[in-house]
Every structure is written in structure tokens, then in C-alpha cells.
Structure 1
Amino acid sequence: MSISLHQYLCKFLVGTENHVKIIRQMNTVCDNLSNDDISVQITSGSFGEGLQMRGSDIDVMLVLRFIEVHDNITTIAFNPTKTYFILMTDNTNSSFAMLRLVSSPHRRLVESCETFQGNYYLSSALFKRLFLSEFCPVEHGPCVSDKHSYTDYAPCLHSRSWVKTASRWIVKSNNPWPNENTKQMIINHGVLFVPIGSKESANEKLEWRMSFSVGEKLLMYTFSHTQLLCYALMKILLKDVINTNSRCKDLICSYYIKTIVFWISEELQPSVWTPDNLIQCFMRCFSRLIYCVQYQVCPHYFIPENNLFENKIEGIDRNNLIDTLSVLFSYGWRCILFSDQISDGPILLNNIQNYQSFLYYDDLNKLLKSSTSIRVSSLTDKHYNFCRSVHTIISCNSKKLKFIHEYFMSWICNLKCQSIYVSSTIRNKNQYKQHKTCLSYLLMSTNHDSVSGWLMLASFFYKGNQYKKSLILILYALSKCTLDKLIRGTELTAMQRLLVKWHLIYKQRVVRSLKFMLVDHVNFATSAFIPMELLIVESGFVIPPVVYAHFLSFLCHYHLNNVRECQISLRDLQLTIAEDYFMGEDIFPKAFSKYCLGTALQLIGDHLSAKQAFTETVQILHSYPFFIRPLKRLSMIASV
């Protein structure tokens, strides 16, 4: 069986045009649900553009609403609750600017300014440090990142005015690409500023880089699928082939590749970008890359005066890079076969006839794994934001977008219900209203996977001392944890991929089918529904579903004095942990599984075994002192 390169990329690496559209819709929904009165979140990078690229993380632009950047003080309509900066470019190169403070009611922002030539300027270095936290403790260029680099957050400022240094882009000749509507949308959006300065500048810490990431995203959205595949091939060539050569590693970044594809797209007629011409277009982009390196010139797409290669690749590095690129170019389009993810393709093709549709699962899994709880947590804080999101779902015309919204909202309801305090007894009308409100959120939260929402509902009844109701829900949840289900965050086997394909094609398609196929961990964002027996740590629990089901069953029977059933639940809990059943691959669920086991053993008086379980929990979480300190105390108590 032979397939074209275009078909191969659609089946195995990038996905079909519809697949890319689904990724973009998921990002749009997640961004919309993440926005609040303080900030706007924009998914960027490869995934934001609709590409599933191996090894790429999630990039999120965090645009602060309460800060405005203007190019002229006369354009400011002052609001006493906002901070204003004036754009200054006299002492910077063409892609950077300095931000002079005009006024601010925010003390921390004023403290992040430094004096320069008699005025206060916002320090990009100090500003970025404001966003470092326990969850994002790492500085990565203009971003802050989590320890595992799953997500990069780039805090940035917005100017609605188009910058003068990019004014030539406005008056470009009437090329077929991009069209006039796209150009106008990009200009109307303006420019973002990210906190990083030019390394060649003496004022690096006071400089901000102009970012056209929103404009670039809009340009990518106008690409035909062949253009997108060509761009993906160039990125694969860079990451899997060029950067794996020790002599060339990190000399070229993916932004250079994107810039070259933009210039080529402007030069070629849109009619050229067809599946039959994919190889010719790819080789043209590759040839332009060699030209740029050889002559050390790669003009910025929006600011051509800014040569991206100036003082970047010189001397022996340049010679090594040219040699490597020339050798690869001599292989023609077959140079991409040096990428292991492409060279392994025929083997996969023989085993699985058409598993393109499993990419939907991987992409949604990737999106939800990208600190979604942080991104959408604002909805749990303000009732207005939550109501606005519900209204968006109701008024949404697209059935696909409605389903995606509902999926994310179900997950958000899981957090929302935990922010409502519910007393174990209902004594008055207000408590009854809280009880009903919380119950309605819990019922809505059952739509994002097969199990976790029902287990959270079981926790709700357990906290209200309604143990028999809780046990009914636990049994129902356990009945859903069958071998044909998928635990979120794990790699799929070949058989599971075929199962995903079957569901997506013959059942309900993409997001709706995930409700019936996925099994998620039970995520306690606050202490509202955590059993009292676990409250040595007040929040942040992530417990595997089957583990939690057996543990909660144990607690219910323990309070009901059902000795035999209590022993059975404890045995099932131990067996689940020993067999690693629906545990996933992350360390937190595994650690808290041991913690649940230790708690159960301590309740029945087996202090020696409890101490061992707590000790194992501490060993797994050795890098997280927030959890270790209280768990160590519990371990000492168990040994008494």
C-alpha cells in the first residue's frame, strides 16, 4: 500500500484539515473561558496554530487588561484604575521598545520601574518576576514556566496602535496573500510587548520585544492545508534532523522557519499551494533557508529592517550549518526521512489502517494537561464570568463549538462546586439554597469523563453523612472503570487507538465521545469535598479514580460499622495500588494513593503498615515540600 506524502502527514503527523480546525476550536473555547476582567489568555505557538508537534509545549500569552501602552500621550483617555505607558523607540533597535511610565495606581508596577534619563521605565526583568510562583517557578526567555515545561506563560502588554517601525507592512503592494481583510484585522489588533530585551543592548533589562504573535496566528489561519503541511515539514526537519546534529544544535529557531514560510507565501500565488505541489513548495522553503544562512539575512516579516540573522550565525557555526544544510538538500525531499517520526511511519501503517482520528484524543489530552485549572480558575471566582460563559454556550450556533464549550464547562463546574461551602446539616433556607446550587454544579460536572464527576458527587454525600447514597454512586462509578476505558494522560496502545477510532467514527465524534471513553483523576482543588480523614493537606489532591472509589467505600462502611465490607474495600484498595490499575503516569496520583492507603490502615489501628505507606508517599513527593511537611508529621503520629 502506497500513499502520498500529503496523505501520510494527514494520517500520522499533522492530521486532516478538519482535525486542525478542531484543535483551533478547542483553543478558542479554552481561551474564551480563561478570560476575565484582569487578563486575556491567548494560546500561541504550534498548538495554538492548530499543529500537533512532538515535543512542543503549550504557549500562552497573558495580556493584562489594566495596563495600556500608547504611542502618544494625547491618545490616552485616562482611567484612574489603569496603568499607562508611553512607547519609546529612540534608544532601541527596530523590534524593541522601552515603556515610560505615565501613571499607575498599582504599587507593585511602580516598584518594577527604574530610572533612565530622568524618567521611570518599566523593567522587563522585574516585571516578569512578578509572575513567578510555586506553580511556575522557572524563567524561560520572556515566559514563566512550570517545572516540567508543560506550559509557558508569557505575560505581555498591549498597544492598540500599530507601531511606526512596522508601518511599511501596512502599505505593502496588493499581494494575493494575505488578503485585505486579514491585514486589516491584524492592524486593528495592534501589537503586544513581551518582557525581554535585546542582548546586544546596554539597556536590555529595560527593553521589551514587540510581538506580532496574534497577527502571525491570524496569518497561519489563512493558510491552505498544504501551506500548513509545508510549514510542519520544515519544523520537523529543524527539530528532528538539523537540531539533532551537535554542530548545528540551536543555531536556528522555529521562528526563523515561520518567517521564511510567510515570505514564500507572499511570493507564490495561492493556487500553487496544492497537495500535488507539496514537495516543490517544501524544497523552495528549504532552498530559501540555505540562502538566508549563506548570506546572513532573514528579514523580519513585519519589520523588514530587522535582520533576524544579524550577528546570530557566524564563523565556524555558519560553516558547519551550511555544510549540513547542503548535504541534506542534496537528498531532495527525502531528507525528511532522517526524522524518526517519519521513518517509522510505514511500520505503523502496516499495523493500523487508519488511525488519524486518535490525534483528537492526544490533542485534547494535551490541552487539558496544560495547567487548565490555572487557566480557567477565574470562572470560579466571579459569578458574572461564569454566567457569561454559560450564556456563550446557549447562544452558540455551531454544534461543534457548543459541545466543546460544554465539555470544558463540565470540568469548570467541578471546580466551581468546590468553592461553595455546604454544611453537613441543612437548617435554614440559605443552606438549602447552597445545597441545591452545589448539587446542580456537581451534576453538570459529570459530563467531562466517565467517572470523576460521579465520585465527586459521592464525596458530596459522604461529607453530608449520607453514606448509603455515597455507596450507590461509588458502585456506579466503579462499573464505568472497565478495561476498554482510557485513563487521561497515558500513551495509547494500538488496540486503544483503534477503539478511539471506532468511537469517533461510529459513535458521537471527538469531544462528546470522550465523555464515555475517558476516566479522569479526582481533583480536589479545595478542601470542600475532601473527607475529613485526609485534611492533613487542605487542597491539591489528585487521586486516581478507582483508588478513591475504594477508599471512599472503606470510609462509608467504617462509619456504618460494616466490618466485613470495610475489610473488602481495604483489600480492593490495596490490590488496585499493587496492580497499578487506572493509576496513570504522573507522580501525584501515585503518591496520594499511598496516602489514602496509609489513612485507611491508620483508622483500623495498623500503625506499622500505615507508617510504611506514609513514608512511601513522602519518598515520592521528595521535591514538593508543601506536601512533605504535613505528611512527615502524619508519619510520626502513625508510629506512636
Structure 2
Amino acid sequence: MNNKYYISSSEYRKIWCSYLSDSVPHGPCVSGVYFWEKEYDSSGEIEYDLAKCFACDFWPPPAASWKDRCHLWPKSHIVSEIVKNGCHLVAIGHTSGHHVHNEWRISFSLAEHKLVRAMNHCQFLTYGLLKLFLKEIINNDNAISTGDKLLCSYHMKTAVFWVAQRNTIPHWCPQNLLECFWVCFKLILKWVYEGVCPNFFIPQNNMFLSKVHGEAQLQLFIRLYGLYEKGLAFLLNSPSIRSCIINVLHNPHLSICTDEHTLISETEFDIQLLGELDTHDAISLYIPNLKYCMKFLHIIEQMMGSPRLTQYQVLMLQKFTTSVLQQTVFIIDRETYIHKNKLRYRANKISCYMLKLAAKFGCISDMMYIAMYYYKTLRFMEALSIIEIIKAKLTQPYVIHRYVDTELYTEAVGGQSWSTKMRQAVAGDIILYNGIHNITELIPEQQSAPQRHWNYLFVPPFVLLYMLEILCYRHVDTRRVQTALDDLQTLVHDDQGQFTPLLSRDISWQILGICQQVTGNLQAALDSYQQSLRQRPFHKIQTATEMRIQRTSH
């Protein structure tokens, strides 16, 4: 338009939504259900809400007055850091405007993360109490559909922000927790009565404008005012809160005492953080060709010199660097073929250096890419040597797979930086992007369904380790093939989810079948392929499985 290029928010959202099957638009996000191991959730499902956004380097003019309001909370250095880091733009327009398909919304999510971190312990507990109140009291009615839930977690967070900034509560401490909750609750009740919930950064933006009005607003106010009349006793209707406060409510001489160190252990936090990091890395970074490799490496080089990186950003940058270097090596192998021995030797040497460098940045399982490259370039003894090192590291009891001995983990790496923990005590799934063929034997699986929403295979590290061991021993020591095959078979048959999670069962059985087939045990391979078809089809490899069954049967 007007000789300029614009990015349509609705088209951008539609394309982003198309990458994730069974997802639906939800504001600027796409929402859906991600199937995971039942140990993490009783239903075996995790709801997700994902938004792709653009970073904006400057603080938006409509929010210029915000920093002038920050006299007591947050502290001035946090305000300066928030303003300096700018904001984000998310793909959604104003529903009542004329440019709803092209407009983008300013998002202060990064600033809000910093504000939540700036909360003291009691403020954070109050926020958690408000979220439980919302989930288990306000929105727990089965008659209320998702679309009828007028209040959300964002409104709760906004209430805590405003109360903290206005210094409405002089003493935020655990003994005053219920009083802090009550002040925030009354503010939300006032907002519903007036039909105005001011955005914390741009107060003239009313966050109730599109939903909380008319009859819906009246019914919500009546419901909230009914709770107000009951007093704090209404919190007893929340199963999560009831056991914590029932004695306090019945005895006003008692107070709530909390120990923030018991909220979540260092190990639990590390598992959540590093698991999130692996998922983010997998979803976000696929490199199609060498041009993009160079572009990403240049971006990483520029970011490395930034003095403003947080510890978490440094960790994320390490993961990105690891993934870029790994993909670059296999893309070079795919896109170039050098006839001269001297040049081929030099290219191989550089590739090995890049993979070893990536292993220094990444976690233990990232060493597996070195073994894959050695196998792909027919250096079977070197691959087996690396496999032995990986095996020794992976079998340490303090290594995080999905479960970990918390005492040994704390003893081994407790108190150290996240970067150190990732390098020494974390083993993630091996990510094989479908456009890059790391292992020839898995090409049919990578080509099985190229249009699906996943663009990669997640392979458990021990499954891939045993597979490479079997493939390499076939060429150098056939006597040891059966031992490795027995180890793989025991793992896939008997593991209870510690090393082969539920969502990786289809590819794990498939790999066992491939290894049985290449070693000549066709009937066992056929059984494994059929087992693969019976698993949850997370990787959508059924086409490859059926092809292998057909070939094995003949």
C-alpha cells in the first residue's frame, strides 16, 4: 500500500496457526492441546497459548507517562531497564476499528516479566492467590463456557501492579497476605462496577471494553459483590486455598507463615527451565540452507557482544548457537560435494571443529551430533569412541532426563550457573530436522509426512545412541552388534517413561524395528513396526512404517 510493504496481522496469524495442527486462534495467540506424558498431568495433555511477535527497540509514546508514575514501585533502575528494552508487537488489530486485519497490538509482556520478578515474596503470593481464586471460584462453574469467562489472569496481574504502585498496602508481608488479597479483590470489584480496567502501561486503554459491558458486566458484578458480602470466607470454596487458610479464618490470632524456599526446589526449577529451553529451541529454529546459516551466525556474533544479556538470555543464545552450528555442518554435507581429497579433508576438519564447539555450548546429548557425523562420513571407530564417552556421561545419576535424583543433582551442580548445569547435567531429546538427513536409515521417516505441523523428529538420546552403536558395529565388529541390539530392545520394551517418553514411543519402536531389520531379524522387525503403529502417532510416521512392513513381509 502506498508503495510500501506492510505485514497483515490476520494473515501472519493465519500462517502461524497453520504450522500447528488442531490449534485455534486465541487473540494474538494460537491455542491448543499438546499431548505429553501422564506423569506431568493427570490427563496427559497440556494446554498451550503461543504468540509469535516482533521486538520493538523503543518505548512506545502512548506509554511515555508510565515511567513518571513509578515513584515507589518498581525501583528506578528497573523502570530504566524496562524503558530501555522497548516492547513487542503482536498480531491482532482493534476489533472495533477499521483496520482490524492489518493492525498490530503493543505488547508489554517483557516489561511484565520484569515487574513480576520485581515483586517481593508477599506480592508474588498475592498474585498466585488471585489466580487460584479466578480458576477455582470465578471460572470453575461448568455452565460457564470458555467464551463467557470475562475475567482472566491478566486482569489479576494488572490489579497487583496497580496496588503495588499506588502504595495502597504499606506492608507487603506474608502475615498480611489475606489483607493484600482483599485490597486487590476490591479493586477488581470496582473495575467491574465501573466497566473500566485500565491497562497498567497505557491507562486510557480499557481492557474491559470488548467483553465486560451490558448484561454480562451486571451479572459479573452481582456475582463478585455476593462474594464480597461473604468476606474472606468465600476462599474456603477453593480446594487449593482451603487447607492453607481454614485455621487462620477460624482463629484471628494466627497468621500465615510461608517459606519461599519450600515453594519450588532448585532442581524442580532447573527441570522446568531447561525443558522449556529445549522446546523453545526445537520449535523456533530450523535452517533451510547455507545462506540462512551465515545469517544466523552473523546475528549470534552481534548478540555475543551485548553487555545487556541476562543469564537466561545467555543460556538461550548458547542453545541457538549449538543448533546453528549442528545444522550448518549437515547442510554443508548435503549441499556440497568436494572431489579433491585435500579440500574434502579440510571441510571435514572444519565440520568436526564446529560440532565439538557446539557440544561445548550445549548439553550432554549434543555430543551425539558428532557421532552422527562420524557415522555419516564412514568413520565408525571414531563414532564408537564418542558413543562410549556419551554413554558414560548419560548414565550419571545426577543427569536430568525427565527424572533425576535431586540430592545427587544438587551435590553435583547445585548453585552453579545455568550454563554449567546445561553442559554437565542435562540430556535432551535429539532433534532431527526433516530437511537435514543426519542418518540415512531414517530418511523414510523424515520424508513420511512433509506437510505435517512438526518439522522434525524427537529421538530419545539412549535410543539414538544404541542405534548408532548397532550401525557402526556392523562395519567394524559384528560380534558386538547383538549386545547393542539387546540393550536397545530392553530399553524400548521395558522402560517406563524415564528414557523413552510417551510421545517418543512411535519413533522408538520404529528405530528398534530398523535395527532388527538391518541385522537380519525380519520377524522381530515386523513386530516392532506393528508396535510403532499402535503408539500415539506424534511424529506422523505411519506412511514410513507401513512401507517398511510391506517390504519386510515380502
Which residue of structure 2 aligns with residue 454 of structure 1?
Answer: 367
> Relative to structure 1, is the Cα distance of residues 259 and 373 closer, same or farther in structure 2, using a 3 angstrom cutoff?
same
Q: Residues 459 and 529 of structure 1 are in contact (CA less than 8 Å); yes or no, is this contact kept in structure 2?
A: no
2:154 to 237, 255, 258: 255
Equivalent in the alignment of 1:550: 466
Counterpart residue number, 1:323: 226
2:440 equivalent to 1:532: yes
Structure 1 letter corresponding to 2:139 = N
Could you say which residue in structure 2 is the equivalent of 1:386?
297
Letter in 2 for 1:389: I
- Cα deviation, 1:495-544, whole Å, max 9, x if unaligned, reads x2333333343x74544134332222222225656332222134723222
- Counterpart CA distance in 2 for 1:305 and 1:401 is 33
Distance 1:145 1:341 in 2: 33
1:205 to partner: Cα distance: 4.5
1:630 aligns with 2:540: no
The residue type equivalent to 1:362 in the other structure is: I
Whole-Å Cα distance in 2 between the matches of residues 353 and 218 of structure 1?
Answer: 23
Indicate the residue corresponding to 2:38 in structure 1. Answer: none
CA positional deviation for 1:630: 3.0
Q: CA deviation at 1:265?
A: 2.0
Q: CA shift at 1:245, angstroms?
A: 4.0
Go from structure 1 to structure 2 and tell me whether the alpha carbon gap of 1:504 and 1:294 turns closer, same or farther (over 3 Å shift): farther
Q: Which amino acid aligns with 2:132?
A: I
Letter in 1 for 2:30: V
1:327 to partner: Cα distance: 4.0
Q: Secondary structure at the match of 1:131?
A: helix
Residue 239 in structure 1 maps to residue 135 in structure 2: yes
Partner residue, 1:104 = 4
**Structure 1: any 5+ residue segments left out of the alignment?**
1-100, 110-121, 344-348
Q: Indicate which of 142, 151, 154 corresponds to 2:28.
A: 142
Greater helix share, structure number: 2
1:572 to 474, 487, 495: 487
Determine if the alignment matches structure 1 residue 420 to structure 2 residue 329: no
| Bigger mean CA offset, 136-145 vs 541-550 | 136-145
Contact 1:442–1:456 (Cα < 8 Å) also in 2:
yes
Question: 2:355–2:370: 8 Å Cα contact kept in structure 1?
Answer: yes
Q: How far did residue 606 of structure 1 move?
A: 3.1
| Counterpart for residue 444 of structure 1 | 357
Shift in CA distance, 636/128, structure 1 to aligned 2, threshold 3 Å: same
Q: What whole-Å deviation, never above 9, does each CA across 1:313-355 have from its counterpart, x for those lacking one?
A: 43444433433465462367x7877348979xxxxx99x9896
Task: Quote the residue 1:283 is aligned against.
Answer: 182
- For residues 247 and 330 of structure 1, do their structure 2 counterparts lie closer, same or farther at Cα, with a shift above 3 Å needed? farther
Which residue pairs with 1:129 in the alignment? Answer: 14
Is 1:298 the equivalent of 2:197? yes
Q: Distance in 2 between matches of 1:470 and 1:171?
A: 57
Change (3 A) 1:179 1:566: closer
Does the Cα contact within 8 Å between 1:446 and 1:454 map onto a contact in 2?
yes
* Stretch deviating more after TM superposition (457-466 or 192-201): 192-201
Contact 1:583 1:589 in 2 (8 A): no
Q: Given the superposition, is the C-alpha separation of residues 377 and 541 from structure 1 closer, same or farther in structure 2, using an over 3 Å criterion?
A: closer
Higher share in strand: 1
Q: 3-state DSSP class of the match of 1:238? A: helix
Once the two structures are TM-superposed, the CA of residue 571 in structure 1 deviates from its matched residue by 1.7
Mapping of residues 304-453 of structure 1, within 5 Å: 304-310=203-209, 312=212, 313-324=216-227, 326-327=229-230, 329-330=232-233, 338-339=240-241, 356-377=265-286, 381-390=292-301, 392-393=303-304, 404=315, 407-408=318-319, 409-421=321-333, 427-447=340-360, 451-453=364-366
Moved more, 519-528 or 434-443: 519-528
Determine if contact 1:414/1:441 at 8 Å carries over to the other structure. yes
The 8 Å contact of residues 467 and 511 in structure 2, kept in 1 or not, is answered as: yes
Shift of 1:598: 1.2
Distance 1:153 1:461, change over 3 A: same
Distance 1:176 1:102, change over 3 A: farther
User: What secondary structure does 2:493 align onto?
Assistant: helix
Distance in structure 2 (CA, Å) of the matches to 1:639 and 1:474: 33
Match of 1:515 in 2: 423
Unaligned runs of 5+ in 2: 35-46, 246-257, 448-455
Distance 1:396 1:430, change over 3 A: farther
> SS where residue 130 of structure 1 aligns?
helix
Measure how far apart 1:599 and its partner are: 1.1
* Partner Cα separation in structure 1 for residue 84 and residue 485 of structure 2: 62
Q: Please say if residues 67 and 79 of structure 2, whose CA atoms lie closer than 8 Å, have aligned partners that are also in contact.
A: no
Q: Distance in 2 between matches of 1:278 and 1:382?
A: 52
SS for the counterpart of 1:541 is strand
Q: Is this contact kept in 1: 2:287–2:327, CA < 8 A?
A: no
2-structure distance, mates of 1:632, 1:458: 29
Q: Is the 8 A contact 1:521 1:544 kept in 2?
A: yes
1:154 matched to 2:52: yes
Residues 549, 188 of structure 1: CA spacing in aligned structure 2 closer, same or farther, 3 A cutoff?
closer
Equivalent residues of 2:529, 2:545 under 8 A apart: yes
Structure 1 length normalisation: TM-score?
Answer: 0.67
Which SS does the other structure have where 1:536 is aligned? helix
CA contact (8 A) 1:137 1:144 kept: no
d(CA) in 2 for partners of 1:405, 1:142: 24
Moved more, 308-317 or 269-278: 269-278
Conservation of the 8 A alpha-carbon contact between 1:474 and 1:549: yes
Q: 1:579 Cα shift? A: 1.6
Superposition deviation, residue 217 in structure 1: 4.3
Contact 1:424–1:463 under 8 Å retained in 2: no
Contact 1:411 1:448 in 2 (8 A): no
The residue matched to 2:16 in structure 1 has which SS?
A: coil
C-alpha distance in structure 1 between counterparts of 2:244 and 2:349, whole Å? 54
**C-alpha distance in 1, partners of 2:311/2:15?**
38
Tell me how many residue pairs correspond in the alignment.
510
Aligned-partner residue type, residue 522 of structure 1: I
Q: Aligned residue for 1:620?
A: 535
Comparing 316-325 with 154-163, which one deviates more in the overlay?
A: 154-163
Q: Quote how far apart the aligned CAs of 1:253 are.
A: 0.5
Could you say if the C-alpha distance between residues 315 and 159 of structure 1 is closer, same or farther in structure 2, counting changes exceeding 3 Å? same
On the 8 A contact 2:192/2:220 being kept in 1, the answer is no
Deviations 1:538-574 (A, max 9, x none): 47232222222222221122223x4432222222211
**Structure 1 pair 529–190 and aligned structure 2 pair: CA distance change class (3 A):** closer
